[in-house]
Amino acid sequence: MGALRRKVAEKLNLLVFLLPTLFFVIVFIAFPVVFSGFLSLTEFNYAEDAVPKFIGLAGYWERLIKDTFFHTALVNQMKFGISYFTITFIVSLLVAILINELNQGVQIFQVIFYLPMIIPLSLVGITFAWILSPDVGIFNQLLRSIGLKKFAINWYGYPGTALYALVVARSWKMIGFTLIIFLAGLQGISRSLREAARVDGANFFQEIFFVVIPNLKPYMLVSGIWILINSLKVFDLPQVVTQGGPGIATLTLYLYSWKLAFERLDMGEASQVAYITAAIILILAWVLNRVFKPETAQRG
Q: Which of 8, 57, 90, 138 binds another protein (CB under 8 A)?
A: 138
Q: Verify binding: residue 75, another protein, rule CB under 8 A.
A: no
Q: Verify binding: residue 90, another protein, rule CB under 8 A.
A: no
Q: Verify binding: residue 65, another protein, rule CB under 8 A.
A: no
Minimum distance, C-beta of residue 238 to another protein, in the bound complex (Å): 12
DSSP string, the chain: -HHHHHHHHHHHHHHHHHHHHHHHHIIIIIHHHHHHHHHTTEE-BTTT-SSPEE-TTHHHHIIIII-HHHHHHHHHHHHHHHHHHHHHHHHHHHHHHHHHH-SSSHHHHHHHHHGGGGS-HHHHHHHHHHHT-TTT-HHHHHHHHTT-GGG---TTTSHHHHHHHHHHHHHHHHHHHHHHHHHHHHHHS-HHHHHHHHHTT--HHHHIIIIIHHHHHHHHHHHHHHHHHHHH---HHIIIIITT-STTTT--HHHHHHHHHHTS-BHHHHHHHHHHHHHHHHHHHHHHHHHT--SSPPP-
Q: Verify binding: residue 88, another protein, rule CB under 8 A.
A: no
Q: Verify binding: residue 35, another protein, rule CB under 8 A.
A: yes
Q: Verify binding: residue 284, another protein, rule CB under 8 A.
A: no
Q: Which of 42, 77, 215, 239 binds another protein (CB under 8 A)?
A: 239
Q: Verify binding: residue 235, another protein, rule CB under 8 A.
A: yes
Q: Considering beta carbons, is residue 75 or 142 the nearer one to another protein?
A: 142
Minimum distance, C-beta of residue 27 to another protein, in the bound complex (Å): 8
Q: Considering beta carbons, is residue 162 or 270 the nearer one to another protein?
A: 270
Q: Verify binding: residue 190, another protein, rule CB under 8 A.
A: no
Q: Verify binding: residue 19, another protein, rule CB under 8 A.
A: yes
Q: Considering beta carbons, is residue 80 or 219 the nearer one to another protein?
A: 219
Q: Verify binding: residue 292, another protein, rule CB under 8 A.
A: no
